[in-house]
Amino acid sequence: MPKHVVPRLLRAHPTETWLVIVLAVICAGLSLTTTQFLTVANVFNLLNTSSVNLIFAVGLLVVLIAGGIDISFAVAASVVQYVAALALAGIGGGGWLSGLAIAALAGMTLGAVNAALIHYFRIISIVVTIATFNIFFGLLMFFTHGVSIYSLPEWWTRRAVLFEYQQANGTWAELTLPVLIMSVCVIATWVLIRHTTTGRQLYAFGDHPEGAKRLGINIAAMHFIAFGWLGLMAGIGGLVQVHYAQEVVPNALIGRELDVLAAVVLGGARLGGGRGTVLGCILGVFLVSVTQNGLNLLGVSPYAFKMIVGAIILAAISLSSAPLGQMLARGRQRWQS
């Protein structure tokens, strides 16, 4: 069996390699055309603002790997925000630990609802999550009357700086707490899917559910863990988003799910399951945020962002899908044996 000449990296991780190149090109381009891009302040700002999306993204990644899809998590995050605000008020304020615990619990519960409907009633995940999107949103808006919550515990809204750096021009570049929380979530997800048996089982299940079943993998566990993890991330992400915005607004996150999904798919996860890496996720999210950041710095109207990002995603999806990969693989197979 002749070993391939093509470098291992390119063959095993084509999407990630491709993304790194594109990202590098964009960054290079931006640093040349604007003075503000390659500053510490801007980089820190990018990290700060991408945190929430990245938390959502690694959660969604797990669901995609397991072969499903979920468009209800942003609404679920909004629900968790509200629930957390009320619960924390109830326990007299709380702190980061109690906040995270409540958010985690609430988020996982909502994720479990999706998992239960998908598993016990054999309904495909796109249909279930379209339904739960509407159920969660409708109930949320009904019970809250669309009212935002402004008075929140101090720890939640106080800007927490992890690391400061004074730039040459005197302004301070700050790295904030969300980045830390995001890093923990990202690393935890990475450990889960790469280094635990549960994670590997998720890959197997997403790849070939029937085969996984024959091996004795617990299918219910797969569903609940995948959607539960996304629920967990949605809850945490929601919490962090409030920290950022300093208020709880019921429909602030609506629409976020599509941007996150697009970024995760850009990063190499595919709808059929069995594929996707945390690195790809990170690259996908940053590609989108760097593009938006760049467009902003270049003075392009913010309304154009969505349009341009949508066009990029359309192009990326068209170029990266299975048949092209299959054609390449088949071409390679012809030269073998």
Partner 1 sequence: MTDGLSPPMMNGKRAGWRAFDAKPGAEAIGLGLALLAVIAVFSLLSPRFLTLATFDSIAFQLPELGLLTLAMLMPIISGGINLAITFTANICGLTLAWVLHANGGSDAGILAFLLGAILAIGVGTGSGLVTGLVIAYTGAHPILVSLSMMIFLRGLGEFLTRGGDISGFPDFIQPLGHGSLIGLPVPLLILMVAVAIWHVMMSRTRLGFSTYMIGSNIEAARYSGINTKKVLVLIYALSGAMCAIAGIIMVARFNSVRVGHGESYLLITVLACFLGGVNPFGGFGRVLSVVLALIILQVLSSGLNLLGANQHLATALWGLLLVGVMILRWVSGRLGLIMRR
Partner 2 sequence: MAVAAPQPQDPTPVLSLQNVSVTFGGVKALQDVSFEVLPGEVQCIAGENGSGKSTLIKVITGIYQPAPGCRFTVAGQSVQTMSPAQARSAGVVVIWQDLALFNEMSVAENIGIEAVLGATPRLVDHAAIRRTAENALARLGADIDVDARLSEFAIAQRQIVAIARALVREAKVIFMDEPTSSLTRTETNRLLDIVRTLSAQGIAIVFVSHRLAEVLEISKRVTVLRDGRLVGVFESAGMSQSRLTELMTGKTFDQSVKAADHAVSPVVLSVNGLSRRGDYAEISLTIRKGETVGLTGLLGAGRTELALSIFGMLQPDSGAISIDGVPLQLRSNRDAIRAGIGYLSEDRLSLGLIQPQSIEDNLVLPVLDRIIGRRLISTRKKAALVARWVSDLAIRVGRPVDPVSTLSGGNQQRVAIAKWLAAGPKLIILDSPTVGVDVGARAGIFEIVQRLAHEGLAILLISDEVPEVYFNADRVLHMAEGRIVGEYDPRRIALTELEAAVYA
Out of 52, 234, 263, 309, point to the residue binding partner 1 (CB under 8 A). Answer: 309
101 in contact with partner 2 (CB under 8 A): no
CA-CA distance, 188 to 199, in Å (whole number)? Answer: 11
Out of 9, 10, 12, 220, point to the residue binding partner 2 (CB under 8 A). Answer: 12
261 in contact with partner 1 (CB under 8 A): yes
Out of 89, 131, 180, 279, point to the residue binding partner 1 (CB under 8 A). Answer: 131
18 in contact with partner 2 (CB under 8 A): no
- Ranges within 191-210 binding partner 1 (CB under 8 A): 206, 209-210
29 in contact with partner 1 (CB under 8 A): no
Nearest by Cα to 289 from 108, 53, 106 = 53
Q: Please spell the DSSP secondary structure of 98-139, one letter per residue.
A: HHHHHHHHHHHHHHHHHHHHHHHH---HHHHHHHHHHHHHHH
Phi-psi region of 86 (alpha: psi -120 to 50; beta: other; left: phi over 0): alpha
Judged by beta carbon distances under 5 to 8 A according to partner kind, the member of partner 2, partner 1, none in contact with residue 260 is none
Radius of gyration of the CA atoms of the chain, in A: 21
Judged by beta carbon distances under 5 to 8 A according to partner kind, the member of partner 1, partner 2, none in contact with residue 79 is none
- Both tokens of residue 44? 């820190």
Beta bridge partners of 83: none
Nearest by Cα to 223 from 104, 129, 106, 131 = 129
Beta carbon of residue 274, minimum distance to partner 2 (angstroms, whole number): 4
Selected range binding partner 1 among 173-181, 189-197, 236-244, 299-307, rule: CB under 8 A: 299-307
Phi-psi region of 116 (alpha: psi -120 to 50; beta: other; left: phi over 0): alpha
Beta bridge partners of 165: 173
Judged by beta carbon distances under 5 to 8 A according to partner kind, the member of partner 2, partner 1, none in contact with residue 336 is partner 2
Out of 65, 110, 192, 265, point to the residue binding partner 1 (CB under 8 A). Answer: 265
Residues 212, 257, 16, 328, CA torsion sign: positive
Out of 55, 253, 285, 313, point to the residue binding partner 1 (CB under 8 A). Answer: 313
Do residues 96 and 39 make contact, with C-beta atoms less than 8 angstroms apart?
no
Judged by beta carbon distances under 5 to 8 A according to partner kind, the member of partner 2, partner 1, none in contact with residue 200 is partner 2
Give the angle 29-34-39 at the CA atoms, nearest 5°: 95
Nearest by Cα to 189 from 220, 230, 222, 223 = 230
Beta carbon of residue 334, minimum distance to partner 2 (angstroms, whole number): 5
Neighbours of 280 (CB within 10 A): 25
Nearest by Cα to 234 from 71, 119, 50 = 71
274 in contact with partner 2 (CB under 8 A): yes
Interface pattern 210-249 for partner 2 (x via CB under 8 A): xxx-xxxxx--x----------------------------
Instruction: Please name the amino acid found at residue 98.
Output: S
Instruction: Choose between 24 and 324: whose C-beta lies nearer to partner 1.
Output: 324
Beta carbon of residue 320, minimum distance to partner 1 (angstroms, whole number): 8
Instruction: Choose between 141 and 245: whose C-beta lies nearer to partner 1.
Output: 141
State the number of binding residues for partner 2 (CB under 8 A).
36
For binding to partner 2 (CB under 8 A), which residues are involved? Answer: 1, 3-4, 8, 11-12, 194-201, 203-204, 206-208, 210-212, 214-218, 221, 274-275, 329, 332-334, 336-337
